[in-house]
Structure 1
Amino acid sequence: MSQPPSPAIKGRGAASNPEGRFETLRHQAEDDGWQSALLDETAPRPRTEVTEERARSVISRNDSPDIAFTQAINPYRGCEHGCIYCYARPSHGYLNLSPGLDFETRLRAKTNLAEVLRAELGRRGYMPKPINIGSNTDPYQPVEKRWRLTRAALELLADCHHPCTIVTKNALVERDLDLLAAMARERLVQVLVSVNSLDNHLAAKLEPRASAPHRRLKAIGALASAGVPVGVLVAPIIPALNDRDMEAVLEQAHAAGARCAGYTVVRLPYELKALFREWLALHAPQRAEHVMSLIRQMNGGRDYDSDFATRMRGQGVFAQLLERRFEVACRKHGFGRARELQLDTSRFVPPREASPQGSLF
């Protein structure tokens, strides 16, 4: 007898833990019919485990033509937010962990991040360019409250007058308003807050441990009030699931203080395809096939197309409609595009190790 579909787990995005694509062993669960219901009822919910990691380097670089930044740092591997659509899930396979529950429960914290970042910024010949914080996993996910690695990175960047951009969907960003406001006065920072729906019930299933949509809008307001340049990302847009909220998100984000906006469509690389289908079967079974049909229409008939020219916005009639709706709403509210501001790299001062000789040499 085949194992029945995994039930939804409260507070988690994924319902299962499939093997990553790099694993050499495969496990197939079988149900013999004995006490399976009792086991399901008594099984404990998976808890978040954080393992310390000593990173050898922390600045990653990319030359993708559809990404606005060329440098990034990610304080954590994995993300407790548990967003089921997260394109970073397959990266957990490099740790021999699953892109499913492992990605949101078995995290890695780069505890020497500030130390390694200091060394990389201080290398001879380093050319300052804005560093994005949170390109792969959210720098303000719940575990940041304890580990404070994002805070440590910001403190170093502020000391060096190094520009950065931040992408988050957690109101914890407000904790660092003191640093962000000071950096903003020197044109050293821009924050982009991701809000892809105003439906709390949907968000609780799509992004179970991220801040609720209304709370993110309040964070936009707090950032704007502090003088921090802030924008909104309506991302990702999932057709027939959250696309109806695009205009309302833009309207409320602008009212809160956002002055630039961007969007992307959902991307389903590698193992993410199966995880997302599983989520649809559990949480939106009546529209699951319709959602996937529209996703395929935006990807040339496939679940995912990695072409740089189309992967962020999609292709076809539905993608064109989304683009048109976004442009009309942005014009209505006077939004700029969510790209890097002209952040100031001229103030950068390389960090230096403390020396008993002071600053003579």
Structure 2
Amino acid sequence: MSSLFSPLTIRDLTLPNRIVVSPMCQYIAEDGLANDWHLMHLLQLAISGAGALTIESTAVEPDGRITPGDLGLWDDATARAFAPVLAAIRRHSPTPVILQLAHAGRKASSHVPWKGGQLVPPAEGGWATHAPSALPQKPGETAPLALDKAGIWRLREAFAAAARRAVALGVDALELHGGHGYLMHQFLSPIANQRTDEYGGSLQNRMRFVLEVFDVVRAAIPTGMPLGIKLSATDWVEGGWDIGQTVELSGELRRRGVDWIVLSSGGISPLQKISPAPGYQVPFSEAVRQATGAVTTAVGLITEPRQAEEIVAGGKADLVAIARAMLYDPRWPWHAAAELGGQVSAPPPYWRAPPAEHKDLFGQTVFGAR
């Protein structure tokens, strides 16, 4: 049997295979509200045959959006906008749905990527950003406002409130975004965090905010609902956050009941030096898995079915998250199952899609027109 197409049970949730659709920002919401684009985009990915679908980075407060087009889950209106999207997924697909909660910190108030992605200062229609320290992401940018204790408490509660809304909507699991240079990562990295109070300085102090957010979200959701986290394993900058510190944090999260850890990297500084190559981040997943026993997800230039199979079969990760390759080929799991001898689910109108040599792809009898 293909390891990639073996099931995995996490708390009360069973994934039919080890392929996860990565959370991929669309930057096309208005005032945080999901719309018909999200319905179309997410529904096609929900019928892809993947083991789970992760909804894109969703802001817990308006100021936490990366761009004005980010999804949000900070009030009743944003929650209501999600409802028809999730209802459509439930009508047509059994795929488990994960929602990623996030706050962009000093990387908020930015243009959408196809307009350059640069910071938009308040004078030009943006908004004031917040971070652990008043340090800009790039030289010359407007510095963020350093969070005081009341601000930290407010953000903790914003994550918990968004988690409760997600539970009420009926998602299957949650994931916290602790990587890519966003707020949680900013607290972790000495490049962005130069505080002198209990949230800065030592590794234990820099981990404090992430662990507090994890704890309040875990307490806000049912015990059977999984809660994972995405981390940047290294800043790719000397003197920044690195894999050793990631292992320490992962161990602490494991003790607190984290259900999976996605190991990405980078995003905290324009000085990062990365040489991307196929599977270049997989060693981070393997290191954390071996050191802590945590369920890990490998990401980053995983594009070929046999590459994904080798990662899972070789014990380098429990799950693989597919992003751009899934946008390019929304039936990636179908094709992977055909190549590796696995089976996936599909809606009945699609049961006749596989060619004759893969007639058992969906575990159903191929039918013809009358």
Using the size of structure 2 for normalisation, the TM-score is 0.39
**Whose Rg is larger?**
1
Q: With a CA cutoff of 8 Å and minimum separation of 6, indicate the structure with the bigger relative contact order.
A: 1
| TM-score between the two structures when normalised by the length of structure 1 | 0.39
